[in-house]
Amino acid sequence: MVARRQRRLLLAAAVALALPAGVRAQRPPRVPRIGILMPSTAAGTANLVGAFVEGLGEHGYVEGSNVFLEYRYTEGHMDRVPALTLELVRANVEIIVSTTDPVIRAIQRHAPTMPIVMVNSSDPVGSGLVKTLARPGGNITGVTNLSPEISAKRMQLLREAVPQLERVAYLWNPDLPGAAEAYGEIEAAARTLKLQVRSAEARRAEDIERALAALASAPATALLVQAPNPVLYTARKRIAELAREMRLPSIFNRWEYVADGGLMSYGPNVPQMYRRAAGYVDQILKGAAAAGLPVEQPSKFELTINAQTAKTLGIAISRSVLLRADKIF
């Protein structure tokens, strides 16, 4: 039996040597691995990840065929970002795709040379993630939601929808990078519209109900929610429920809040931003350096209204606002 096995091995070796050198040297092409690290849950970000996968398909990538995707979710716990980043590095991913300034910054600290494609960054220059939007200059590029005066526009829409409005409660985490600057913009917009701003701080999901409960004694109040904020986005359904229970007209940056019962949203189409992020991944896989790929800003903003929530709150949204809506639930 040993002699038979040796003859088979010798025959296989002879056949291999008989092949042309070029054929012997051929190896299956390496299939790239892309890491996707989401500061939320799989269910809460399914539409965003789905848009990214669809975007990859538009560039010829098929998951499990010519690209592998490594998914990681923090389940809303920011302190898991470092460990999940190191998991992706050990999985030999070539690029990490993620979202929001603090998460991107944490990923960069633990993967300083890894190309990172960011989505929905609020202020990549101010946060120090890139040198300029035109020339990022490091290992990070992607898509930002940065747009001047968007907070003022949301406040204006609230005032148009609720003319008797007197004050706006701002649900936010002041510890996030850029949060103080954004709060200043909101206060400036409120002054222009002769509105008061009340701070409702929520650093963790457990803080949300307490922060909103403190608003119960103030009538003629509406709710504005910090954006982007992974913790608040993950808890968006509960926030929308509380706003309705407290009869707070609400406005958000994303239509998903409105789909879950919020009153209005105004902001860029975030799933489309994830679709666009796939183009950055394609360019990097083909040899482009993140340092030289300009960061893209949103060019279109969408207004979404939940007509059922308006009815529940007894709000008759004006025809002029309804006609501007891109989507009505």
pLDDT by residue (tens digit) across 98-155?
Answer: 999 999 999 999 999 999 999 998 889 988 999 999 999 999 999 998 765 788 889 9
Are 322 and 297 contacting, i.e. CB atoms less than 8 angstroms apart?
no
- Whether pLDDT at 9 is above 50: no
Residue 231 neighbours by CB under 8 Å, 6+ apart: 76, 78, 173, 202, 203, 204, 205
pLDDT band at 13 (very low <50, low <70, confident <90, very high): very low
The per-residue pLDDT for 298 is: 87
pLDDT digits (tens, 9 = 90+) for 180-225: 888 988 999 999 999 999 999 999 999 999 999 887 667 778 999 9
Of 12-16, 190-194, 274-278, minimum mean pLDDT range:
12-16
More confident call, 251 vs 14:
251
Give percent above pLDDT 90 in the chain.
72
Percent of the chain with pLDDT strictly greater than 70: 90
Each as own residue / partner, the long-range contacts of residues 149-153 (CB below 8 Å, 24 or more positions apart, any chain) are 149/185, 149/189, 150/253, 150/266, 150/267, 150/301, 151/182, 151/185, 151/186, 151/189, 151/224, 152/185, 152/188, 152/189, 152/192, 153/266, 153/301
Choice between 162 and 10, residue whose per-residue pLDDT is larger:
162
Domains and CATH numbers, the chain: 33-147+269-300 (3.40.50.2300), 150-268+302-328 (3.40.50.2300)
Closest of 260, 291, 32 to residue 138, by C-alpha: 291
**Using one digit for the tens of pLDDT, what is the confidence trace for 21-60?**
554 456 667 899 999 999 999 998 999 999 999 999 999 9
Please check the confidence at residue 303 and state whether its pLDDT lies above 90: yes
Query: What six digits make up the tokens of 101?
Result: 């300034």
Sheet holding 196-201, edge to edge: 196-201, 167-172, 221-225, 250-252, 264-268, 301-305, 327-328
- CA 4 – CA 211 distance, rounded (Å): 79
Half-sphere exposure of 280 (CA within 13 A, CB side): 32
Model confidence, pTM = 0.81
- CB 107 within 8 Å of CB 37: yes
